[in-house]
Amino acid sequence: MGDGSATIPRGPGTANGPTAPPHDRQPRPRWPESRHYAALDLGTNNCRLLIARPQGGGFAVVDAFSRIVRLGEGLASTGRLSDAAIERTLVALKVCADKLKRRNVTLARSVATEACRQATNGAEFIERVYRETGIALDVITAEEEARLAVLGCHALLEPGDGPAIVFDIGGGSTELVLVDSQVPVPRILDWHSAPWGVVSLTEAVGRPGPGSEGLAALYADMRARVEASFAPFRDRLQAPAGTPRLLGTSGTVTTLASVHLELAAYDRSVIDGLIVPTAAMRDVSTRLSGMTLAERSQVPCIGAERADLVVAGCAILETILDLWPAARLGIADRGIREGILRRLMNGRML
C-alpha cells in the first residue's frame, strides 16, 4: 500500500494547530492556483465537503460544509438505509451540490464509506443521489478509506523512531493503520478495519440498564466487542521500537479533546494538531461513560447531537490506547477529504 502522492510538509502539531518547517525542501508540484478542487466524504454519520485551491505546496480552503446526517441509522438491524436517513442525507448533498456549482469546481471526487458498503439498497441510493444532485458517489473499500485518511493527516504525526498508528473512528467502522513515518509520505506497513464505529456499536449494544451499574455494564460490553474485533490486528503487531506514537482523526477524538480542554464551543484552530496525554483522554472517556444521556447532552462540544454516540467513541478510543500504549495522542481535524484533495491536485484520481 505504498503511496506516491504529493509530499505534505511535515511538522509537529501545537495547541494552535500544525506547524511546518519554514523551508520545505521537497519539490513542490506546479498546480494551477486558479483552479478549485473539491472532496466530499459521505460517512455513516457525517456528510463533509471541502473546496480548496492550490497554494504553494498545499492548499487554501475556499469553502466547507459538514452536517451530521446519520445515514447508517438502523442499518445494523435492517441491513438497509432507511427512508428517513436517505432524505436527511439528500438534503445535505443538495447543499453540497449547490456549493460545487457556485464555486465553479474544476475537479471533484465524492466518496461513500461503510454504510453504503453494507446496505442492500446502497447501489439504489447512489443512483438516486446522482439523479437528484448530480453528485457521483464512489463507494470506496475500507483499505482505500484507510489510505486516504493517512494521506490527509499524517503531517501531524509527532517526530520519532519506529512505526506509528494512525486511526479513524467512523460511524460504521474503525480503521487502524500502522505506518513507517521515516519517509516524507508514510509507508503503510499494515492496516485493519473493524466493523465498529460510533453508530454501529451504539445500536448493537442498545440502551443501558438502570443506574450506574447499567452504564458500567454497557460500557464494558462495548469495550469487549471492540477488543474482539481488534484481535487479528493485535496479534500481528510487534512491540513498538522507540516511543509509541498515535494520531487520531475523527469526530470522536476532536470532541473528546474539546471536552478535555473545557472549550465552550468547538474551535478547529485549537484542536487540529493538538497533542493530548492519553491519560487525560482516558479520564474524559471514563467520565462520559458514567453519565446519563441527559447529562452528556449538557456538556459543551457534545450537546444533544452527539450525546448518544460519544460513549461508543470513548470505548473504541480506550481499546486503541490498550492496543498501542502511547503516552500522547495527536488530534487531527483532517483526514479523507484532505487526502482526496492531495490526490486530485497531484493529478491522480485513484
The ranges assigned to domains in the chain are 17-142+336-345, 157-332
pLDDT tens for 305-323 read 899 999 999 999 999 999 9
Task: Name 329's bridge partners.
Answer: 246, 276
184 pLDDT band, cuts 50/70/90, is confident
Across 59-76, average pLDDT: 94
- pTM of the predicted model as reported, rounded to 2 decimal places: 0.85
Q: Supply the pLDDT for residue 32.
A: 52
- The CA distances from residue 48 to 63, 111, 336, in Å, are 11, 10, 10
Within 8 A by CB and 6+ apart from 59, the residues are 37, 52, 53, 341, 345
Distance of alpha carbon 273 from alpha carbon 153, whole angstroms: 9
pLDDT at 242: 82
Reported as a single tens digit per residue, the pLDDT across 185-215 is 789 999 999 999 999 999 999 999 999 999 9
* Residue that is written with C-alpha cell 478549485 in the block: 36
Whole-angstrom CA distances from 218 to 45, 194, 209 are 21, 19, 8
Write the single-letter amino acid at 226: V
Q: What is the pLDDT of residue 182?
A: 82
CB 143 within 8 A of CB 73: no
Which top CATH class is 17-142+336-345? alpha beta
d(CA 193, CA 141): 10
Q: What is the pLDDT of residue 181?
A: 83
Kindly list the strands in the beta sheet with 58-68, ordered across the sheet, starting from the edge strand earlier in the chain: 58-68, 46-55, 37-42, 107-112, 137-139
As a whole number, mean pLDDT of residues 325-343 equals 95
pLDDT for residue 3: 35
CATH class of this structure's domain 157-332: alpha beta
Least confident of 11-15, 144-148, 158-162: 11-15
Per the prediction, the chain carries an average pLDDT of 89
Same fold, 17-142+336-345 and 157-332: yes
